[in-house]
């Protein structure tokens, strides 16, 4: 086993926009490794709460009023490459997300890789 340095990205998205967001992200990067692609997790149903302030342009809700809506939490990982992260955030998330300020959280993390063990097992 080896450890790969990764970014773990978490994005909150309205349920109605989930598929569009996932497709947009995968257009930029296939989300996977040598054995799999489209590797991600999403959890439904979470609840987001916010109050749009004057000067904002909310996709949902009204200025000055507390708003709640069902959202999904999407989690995926990518190699820890800053240029790739920037492309995914701009071209994959921002262009395919309905919110003015998407809820995005990025963590530097480690991912166990078993590629060498898998390759050895399949070659014997």
What 3-state DSSP class applies to 15? Answer: helix
Percent of the chain with pLDDT over 70: 92
Percent of the chain with pLDDT over 90: 81
pLDDT of residue 119: 52
Sketch out the chain's domains with CATH numbers: 2-111 (3.30.70.120)
Residue 108 has pLDDT above 80, yes or no: yes
Strand order in the sheet with 41-50: 41-50, 67-79, 2-14, 103-113
Strand positions, DSSP E, 1-124: 2-14, 41-50, 67-79, 103-113
pLDDT of residue 120: 47
Residue 88 has pLDDT above 80, yes or no: yes
Residue 27 CA to residue 25 CA, distance in Å, equals 5
């Amino acid at each position: 086993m080896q450890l790969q340095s990764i970014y773990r990205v978490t994005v909150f998205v309205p349920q109605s926009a989930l598929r569009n967001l996932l497709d947009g992200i995968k257009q930029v990067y296939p989300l996977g490794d040598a054995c799999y692609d489209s590797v991600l997790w999403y959890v439904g149903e979470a609840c987001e709460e916010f109050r749009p302030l004057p000067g904002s342009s909310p996709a949902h809700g009204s200025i000055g009023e507390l708003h709640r809506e069902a959202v999904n939490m999407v989690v995926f990982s990518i190699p820890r490459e800053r240029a790739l992260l920037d492309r995914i955030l701009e071209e994959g998330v921002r262009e395919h997300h309905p919110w003015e300020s998407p809820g995005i959280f990025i963590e530097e993390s480690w991912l166990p890789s078993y590629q060498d063990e898998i390759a050895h097992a399949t070659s014997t």
